[in-house]
Chain A
């Protein structure tokens, strides 16, 4: 693997508008049920003050993908740039990957009876375009990055946030800038 592409999500900028979820669905005209990208609201109690803080997650294109390990038909491959691609042609819908992924990112499509997931818009990336979600993010909270030690050494770049599975399970290619909280004058 010559590099590892991944997502950097900035909760300081993210407002939970959920445009990224639907931009992804629109790009591939996905069926009603599977949602490749999902916005989650972080738990208030994990932070010093309550507020509405969000993260957006699609597939994390992990360095040690459990989905790839367990798949009996080798429907998953990890590209040279780190993208974990799911090939629906090979999939037989056994759903073991949906059990194995700590983030529930592979989704079973009951209409097609196969699993689907985010493929980091590799078709767009190969054409030099940004992934649909990154391109659609209005506040600029979502970015396509290369996971490198220099990225990890930047101040403010986090490997996980409260409420997420330990990154040690699959080593996700996902980084965060945590939410910032301002001063609050509250009535409670």
Chain B
């Protein structure tokens, strides 16, 4: 508490991007004609890479990573135990997705051209169904894992965390960065309507994030420790950087992107993804830095 917790920052943010991408793929796959196979493969691979990095990062937080397996023991009361179990299950679910990705023959695009569509569509349909299922299971497990990881921080000892805040913040990171990274990864593999959807979703996440933060901030002063967290944040240049890079700049860029009929400004997309990414990392760092615990406030 109060430190730059790099292992935890990386674990949570990278893990959330990984699940976010899967979540977006799941959404896109709901319309069976729309999920591009290449995108599916790319998304799964990137997501898996990030998930592995995230899990490795989490080990660095432990004094004894070699004994990390023991962390599965206390499912009865420990959210950390539950989080680890859920992330492991998510990883298993991802392995299934990876298997599916490899089975997809390269270049098998799900097209909407007429002739072969009937047969291809039926095959594709079945395939999409199973892809959808796989993506859905991974998403649900992943989101549960993320919710668990947030619940770890819901501690009576830390008033600023002892509410629905952590869960919301973590899920918003998942949604925002998941969408933007999918958009950045997808590029030409995404249809314009899909891009529009991802942009709108990102805009919604950014707006909700800002709004929730304002409401959350105003409620912090209820406790002394919360007030201390608020003061810390408002006085921190990092917080203002986070606000600029993670909220205001993306809001402007996303609005400007959405105004155009055709979304093909790769540079702009990459920029807003990067800014939002930095914003979320700063936000996560501040989450740990600003937390003030109830203390013995004696003299020494």
Contacts and interface: CB of A to CB of B under 8 A. Distances in A.
Interface in B146-186: 152-153, 155-158
Contacts of A100: 155, 157
Contact of B73 (A73, A93, A164): A73
Interface in B283-300: 293-300
Nearest to B288: A99
Contacts of A108: 63
A23 interface: no
A92 interface: yes
A74 B294 CA distance: 24
B289 to A, nearest CB: 13
B156 A169 contact: yes
A111 to B, nearest CB: 10
Nearest to A110: B63
Contacts of B64: 91-93, 113-114
Contacts of B84: 72
B79 interface: yes
Given A70-B79, A72-B73, A92 B294 contact: no
Contacts of B152: 70, 96
**By DSSP majority rule, is chain B's interface helix, strand, loop, or mixed?**
loop
A182 interface: no
Contacts of A44: 299
Given A73-B70, A100-B157, A163 B297 contact: yes
Interface in A156-178: 163-166, 169-170
Interface string B47-84: 00000000000000111110110111110011111001
B1 interface: yes
A73 B62 CA distance: 12
A42 B300 CA distance: 8
Contacts of A104: 293, 295-296
Given A96-B80, A114-B63, A66 B155 contact: yes
Given A69-B78, A70-B79, A99-B158, A94 B299 contact: no
A101 B157 CA distance: 6
Interface in A129-188: 163-166, 169-170
The size bracket of the interface on A is 35 or more
Given A70-B155, A73-B74, A93 B63 contact: yes
A73 B153 CA distance: 17
B162 to A, nearest CB: 10
Interface string A98-110: 0111111000100
A40 B62 contact: no
A170 B155 CA distance: 11
Residue of A44, A72, A108 with most chain B CB atoms under a 10 A cut-off: A72
A34 to B, nearest CB: 13
B155 A42 contact: no
Residue of B68, B74, B81, B158 with most chain A CB atoms under a 10 A cut-off: B74
B71 A73 contact: yes
B222 to A, nearest CB: 14
Contacts of B73: 72-74
A91 B63 contact: yes
A90 interface: yes
A135 to B, nearest CB: 24
Contacts of A66: 155-157
A63 interface: no
Contacts of B67: 73, 92
Contact of A169 (B61, B71, B157, B296): B157
A40 B77 contact: no
A113 B63 contact: yes
Given A66-B156, A72-B70, A94-B61, 13 more contacts: A40-B299, A69-B78, A70-B78, A71-B74, A72-B73, A72-B80, A73-B74, A99-B1, A99-B155, A104-B295, A163-B296, A165-B157, A166-B294
5 contacts: A40-B298, A74-B73, A96-B152, A101-B157, A170-B156
Interface of A: 40-44, 55, 57, 66, 68-74, 90-96, 99-104, 108, 112-115, 163-166, 169-170
CB-CB nearest 8 A-B residue pairs: A93-B63, A113-B63, A40-B298, A72-B71, A72-B80, A41-B299, A73-B70, A72-B81
